[in-house]
Amino acid sequence: MASHSTRISHFLAGARDTLPMLVGAAPFGLIFGALVSASPLALWQGQLMSLLVFAGSSQFVAVGLVAGQTGLLVIWLTTFIVNLRHVLYAATLQPYVRHLPARWRWPLGFLLTDETFAITSVYYQRHPQAPLGHWYFLGSGLAMYLNWQGWTLLGLLFGAAFPRLQTLGLDFAMVATFIAIVVPQCKRLPWLAAALAAGATAYACRNMPYKLGLLAAVLVGIVVGIVSLHHERRRQSNAQQDGRRASPKETT
């Protein structure tokens, strides 16, 4: 019974810590639903996309391409590129979940979003050996999933009733949410350097087709972050070695 209670507490903690992200994703889901209602897609197709794809950015891109009567192959390739960052998220969390059976890894992989990654990665940094961390992961991911379905449905309904809903500027809430995700991670120089490099690259490459600027920003941010982290660790190692050399002299 105690173990069962602990699982529930981890699950609820993941959902609770994701609450600010749920609020930020709400207008994003509304806008997506409104865009679908103004596109050639049927309302049920928009809801089915949220149920089966569950990737906000690629869903927005896909709806725009469908509205522009783009070919299916281009839509697939474009959304694939937009979602490549999820491979990096999965690689980061893989050491913490690789011991889990496939019946856990596959659902957690499906539920992995930007917000869930931000919440879960912080949790694993603080509790790297947590035996029930996957329940925390599940709570965060499932909360985001249900939240996205609900707001997509409301957006579809209200979008049909108020066709100009997507022009109200609600997308700023999602920008603010991502700022809240990134800023707390920038306490150390490697993270700050990676964020600044990725942001500068995303701005410089904002006009690249098929959202390739996003992929370029991710790659540049990773390279800058790795290089900065390597230099930081080397400085720390050199400082420790200097300290060891100095200690015998201080005792003589």
Question: CB under 8 Å to 231, separation ≥6 — which residues?
Answer: none
Q: What is the 3-state secondary structure (H, E, C) of the chain?
A: CHHHHHHHHHHHHHHHHCHHHHHHHHHHHHHHHHHHHCCCCCHHHHHHHHHHCCCHHHHHHHHHHHHCCCCHHHHHHHHHHHCCHHHHHHHHHHHHHCCCCHHHHHHHHHHCCHHHHHHHHHHHHHCCCCCCHHHHHHHHHHHHHHHHHHHHHHHHHHHHHCCCHHHCCCCHHHHHHHHHHHHHHCCCHHHHHHHHHHHHHHHHCCCCHHHHHHHHHHHHHHHHHHHHHHHHHHHHHHHHHHHHHHHHHHHC
Burial letters 62-74, b for 16+ CB under 10 A, else e: bbebbeeeeeeee
Give the pLDDT score at 23.
85
Give the pLDDT score at 181.
61
Burial letters 210-248, b for 16+ CB under 10 A, else e: bbebbbbbbebbeebbeebbeeeeeeeeeeeeeeeeeee
CA 38/CA 68 separation, integer angstroms: 12
Give the pLDDT score at 30.
84
Residues of the chain with pLDDT under 70: 1-5, 160-182, 184-185, 210-211, 246-252
Give the pLDDT score at 175.
61
Q: CA nearest 51: which of 170, 193, 146, 177?
A: 146
Give the pLDDT score at 1.
47
